[in-house]
Structures are given as structure tokens and as C-alpha cells.
Structure 1
Amino acid sequence: MTNPHWLRSFVALVDTGSFTRAAIRLGLTQAAVSQHVGHLEDEFGPLLIRRPRQIELTPAGAALLDYCDELDLADKRLKLRLSDATVDSGEISLITPGSVGLALYPLLLTLQQQHRGLVIRHRFAPDPETRDAVLAKQYELGLVTLRPDDARLAATPFAEEPLELVAPAGVKVERWEDLEALGFIDHPDGQAMATRLLARRFPGNPGVRTLPLHGFTNQIALILEPVARGLGFTVIPRHAREAYAQPDAIQVIECGAPVVDTLWLIHRAEWPLSARAAWVLEQLRNMSPFRSGGRKGRPRSG
């Protein structure tokens, strides 16, 4: 790498047009400035055409000056990125489960509209991918449903995510046989979630695997589409249900005492969160649906 002291002398010489004035600006002797420029010319060839009262750049000198400008901009960008005074600008990187992501992403966009310097980078992913991405420093923040047992990760509760039994609007769900008649719309976590929740509403049931399977999708935003069309029921987190665009086409079936998952915020434990990430998290926690544990659903008994 080219000596930065030589480069500073070169830039000062171009700016002032004089070895004497450049030396005064830098607090150096004129001989030192001349020596620094000489080292650069040994490396890159002639940089200056010296005239009695003027210094003219050669093509190599112009290219080196452009390089110095690029270094200066990179230095300013680095200071801006690391400065606590710029919490409302720069990149925020977050990787989450799809359900809570459906609730978080619009809030992040609202925050970005209010603070146009923010850049939002968000990805939906299951727990294992989220843990790996945070460990690899691909994302600063992650949300997982299971608290990780890894000393390299700090984990704190972020939000609660109740599970809900969701059926087509207008149908009656009072007995296990009603679920059999509807059929199950599955998703990657569907059977595990349904097993936990349905045990509350239908104790002693023969198990989710005995229900007719009427569909499967791994796209969180599409799980309720077949439900809305009357093709079956499903069990999903409340945040996913609240994000659905056709709420009148579905209903939440009351299941008694709620089954609630805790979402854990994770980041690398070896260093603190950036000031920007801490600021964004504070904004999110003050925004619905995270201010008081989420909006309440409107369960129906079916």
C-alpha cells in the first residue's frame, strides 16, 4: 500500500499549488514534501509538470489524485458507518422467521420512510439458517423461536408469538370430526404447531397425522390462501394471520389457554450491538404489534 504520508503531501501540493504552502499546511519542511512527492514519482512515474508559478498534473498525476479522492471518501464512509451520531442512517441487516417477518418488514419500511438514510436488508429464514447467518456475520440481528445454546450468540426475548387455529369463515369447528371434514393445510412447522395447540382444544385427539392433508406450502404469506378458499384449516402464528390481506375470509377458532412461543433476538456476543441496530430495535419495540405483545385477535368459537 502506498505510504499515506506521501499521499497527503501530494494532495496538499496540488491543493495549494506550492511546495512552500503545502509544507506550511502539513507542518512539515519543504524538503520533506519534495521528498514525499519524489518517492511517489519513483513508484508511478512523473506526476507533475513544474512551472515557475504553476503546477500541472500529468495523466499519472491526475489518476493518483482521483485515487486519493476515493480513499478520502472511503474514510468518510467508514467514519459515518461507525459513528454513534448517525444511528438513523446506514444499513440494518435482520434475518427472521417468516411469520414475524411479515409483521416486522412493513414497520421497517415505515421507519425507512421516516429516515431516508436507512437501508433495510431483511431475509426470511428458519432457525438453523438464522443462527448460521448471524454467526457468519452476514446479518447483525436475527430472530429465532428456540433459544440457541451457543456461547458465541447473545439471546434476549424480543416478542411473544401465540399460535392460532385458523379456518375458513363461516364454518363450524366444534369437534375433531369437523377438522377431519375440513382437512389440514400444512407448512414446514405446521404439524408441530398443530399438535401443541390442538391438544388444548381437543384433549385426547388421535393426532394431526390422522387428519386428511389438503395442501402444503413453505411460503408463509400463502398458507392462508387455501384456508380462505375453503380448502382446509391450519395452525399458524398470530403475526402471520394478522398480515393476511383477506381477514373476512378466515376465522380464528378459540382454543382455550394460549400456546405462546417466545421469539429470541440474537446477535454475536463478542461485541455489542451497533448504535444503529440498538436504535432501530428501540423504535420497533415502541411500534405496534410489539409494544404490548401484539394486537389481539378476534377468536370465534366456530
Structure 2
Amino acid sequence: MHNPQWLRSFATVASTGGFTRAAHALGLTQAAVSQHVRHLEAEFGPLFIRRPRQIELTPAGVALLAYVEDTARAERRLRASLSDADTDVGEVSFITPGSVGLALYPILLDYQHNHPGLCIRHRFAPDPDILQAVLQKQYELGLVTLRPEDPRLVATPFTEESLELVVPAGENVEQWPDLQRLGFIDHPDGRGMATRLLSRRYPGNPGIGTLPVHGFTNQVALILEPVARGLGFTVIPRHARESFAHPEALRVVDCGDPVIDTLWLIHRAEWPLSGQARWLVEQLRGVPRFQQRRS
């Protein structure tokens, strides 16, 4: 770690264009500023080309000035992230499941657009990865579909998400053979979700394994594309269906009493949320589509 005063003197000489002007700006003597620069030049070599009434940075000087500027920016980011004074300035990190993430991400972008000092880092991931990312302090906030039992985490209800049976628009689905005719569009959670919902809609059905699979994708934003094109049906969380760009191409089949999951907001229990994270959570809890409801 280099002496901060030496670096300030060097950077001020570079910005003002002279040792005398730098000394005046810093409230130091010219001799003191020159001594600070000599200390740095003893380690890095010549930093300035000195001409009468003009100085110019050497390549070493350019590199050192870039280092000083990078360090100053990093310090400002650190202070912003640790300060609660400006809660909409700094970084917030948020990791969520894909379905609710599709609904969240445009809202997060709106917040960042309206608050230029805010940087939101968001990632889609399954529950196990979300838990590890928050536990390992890679992300400050997370959403999971199952309430964790780990005492290192605080979990509070965030919103509810129902499962939906989604078929192509115009399809009339009444009986199990209708699903067999359409075929299943599978995804990583597809069989588990379909089993939970279809066992309620079609009690005594022969099982999801008896349905032909007409497609598979692990990209949550793409699951409904083949359904919209008439290639099959799927079972998917409501937030993913609400985020689809062509709702007119889809039909949600009434399955009676809904299958509803609670999404849990998690963070580490050992320390309070940053001001930026508290601000973001407060904003999101006011969004009507995330307010808990029975659908």
C-alpha cells in the first residue's frame, strides 16, 4: 500500500499540470510535493517529462495515474455500499428462481433507470444454488420456493406463486386423453409441477409418465413458445406465464383449487441488510403483482 499523500500529490500534479499549482491546491509547499513525487519515482522510475512551464506523463506515469483513479472509484463504491445515507445509490445483488425472475427483472431495470446511482446485479438459479450463493455472501438477497431451515438464514414470505396448466389457445382440454393428444412440453421442474397440479385436476390419472413428451427446454423464458405454437401443453408457475410476450396464444385451464407455493425472501442472519437492499425490498413489496394473493 503506497503512501496516500504521495499518490494525492502525484495525481494533483498530473491534473493541474505543474508542481507549483499542485502545491497551492493541496496547501503544501512545492518542496513537499516534489519530495512525494521523488519517493514514487524511486520505485516506479520517471513519472513526468519535465520541460520549462510544461510537464508530461511518462508511460509509467500514465499507468500510475490510472491506478490512482481506479482506487478512488473503488473507494467511492465501497463507501456507497456501506452507507445508509443514500439508499438508492450503490449495488444490490439479488438471486431468484427463473419464473419470478422474469417478472422481477424488468422492474429492477426500471428502478435502475430511475436511480442512476443504483447498480442491481441479478441472476436466475434453482433453489440449491440460491441458498449457497446467499450463504457464501455472493448475493445479499435471494428468493426460494422452500423455506430454509438453516439458522444462518432469515426467511420471510415475499409472494405467492400458483401452478398453471397452460395449453394452446383454442384447445378444449377436459379429460386426460386430451392431454395425451396434445403432448407434454417438459422443463427441469416440469414433471414435479405437473404431478402436483394434475393429480388434483385429474384424480386417479395414470401418471405423467403416460403422456408423450413433445419438447423440452431448460430456459424458463422459452417454455411457453412451443405451447403458443400448438406443439403441446405444460405446467408452469404463474409469474412465468404472466411474463410471456404473446398471452393471446395461450389458454390457462381451470384446475379448481390452486396449487400455491410461497416464495421466501432470504438473507444472512448475522448482519442487517444494507440500506440499498432494504430500499429495494420495500419498493418490491409495494408492487401489486407481488402482493400475496390466492389465485
Shift of 1:57: 9.1
Larger C-alpha radius of gyration, 1 or 2?
1
CA contact 1:45–1:60 (8 Å) conserved in 2? no
Q: What is the aligned partner in structure 2 of residue 248 from structure 1?
A: 248
Shift of 1:44: 5.5
Q: What is the aligned partner in structure 1 of residue 291 from structure 2?
A: 291
Distance 1:172 1:45 in 2: 80
Distance 1:75 1:117 in 2: 15
Matches within 5 A, 1:260-271: 260-271=260-271
Shift of 1:194: 1.1
CA offset digits 1:258-285 (Å, max 9, x no partner): 1101111122222222111111111111
Q: What is the aligned partner in structure 1 of residue 176 from structure 2?
A: 176
CA contact 2:92–2:120 (8 Å) conserved in 1? yes
Q: What is the aligned partner in structure 2 of residue 208 from structure 1?
A: 208
Q: Secondary structure at the match of 2:151?
A: coil
**In the comparison of the two structures, how many residue pairs are matched?**
292
The amino acid of 1:226's aligned partner reads: P
Q: Secondary structure at the match of 2:290?
A: coil
The amino acid of 1:185's aligned partner reads: I
Q: What is the aligned partner in structure 2 of residue 119 from structure 1?
A: 119
CA offset digits 1:62-101 (Å, max 9, x no partner): 5667655554443333212322122223333222111101
Shift of 1:230: 2.0
The amino acid of 1:256's aligned partner reads: G
Matches within 5 A, 1:108-257: 108-257=108-257
Q: Secondary structure at the match of 1:227?
A: helix
The amino acid of 1:147's aligned partner reads: R
With over 3 angstroms needed to count, the CA separation of the structure-2 counterparts of 1:158 and 1:206, relative to structure 1, is: same
Q: What is the aligned partner in structure 1 of residue 80 from structure 2?
A: 80
The amino acid of 1:115's aligned partner reads: H
Distance 1:106 1:58 in 2: 45
Q: Secondary structure at the match of 1:165?
A: strand
Distance 2:55 2:217 in 1: 67
Q: What is the aligned partner in structure 2 of residue 280 from structure 1?
A: 280
Q: What is the aligned partner in structure 2 of residue 258 from structure 1?
A: 258
The amino acid of 1:178's aligned partner reads: D
Q: What is the aligned partner in structure 2 of residue 299 from structure 1?
A: none
Gaps of 5+ in 1: 297-302
Shift of 1:116: 2.3
Distance 1:56 1:171 in 2: 78
Distance 1:197 1:83 in 2: 46
Gaps of 5+ in 2: none
Q: Secondary structure at the match of 1:87?
A: coil
How many percent identity over aligned positions? 65
Which deviates more, 33-42 or 284-293?
Answer: 33-42
**TM-score normalised by L of structure 1:** 0.79
**TM-score normalised by L of structure 2:** 0.81
Shift of 1:42: 5.8
Distance 1:184 1:48 in 2: 70
CA offset digits 1:110-168 (Å, max 9, x no partner): 21222122223222111122222222322222211122232332222111110111112
With over 3 angstroms needed to count, the CA separation of the structure-2 counterparts of 1:31 and 1:150, relative to structure 1, is: same
The amino acid of 2:147's aligned partner reads: R
Which deviates more, 36-45 or 144-153?
Answer: 36-45
RMSD: 3.5
CA contact 2:95–2:122 (8 Å) conserved in 1? yes
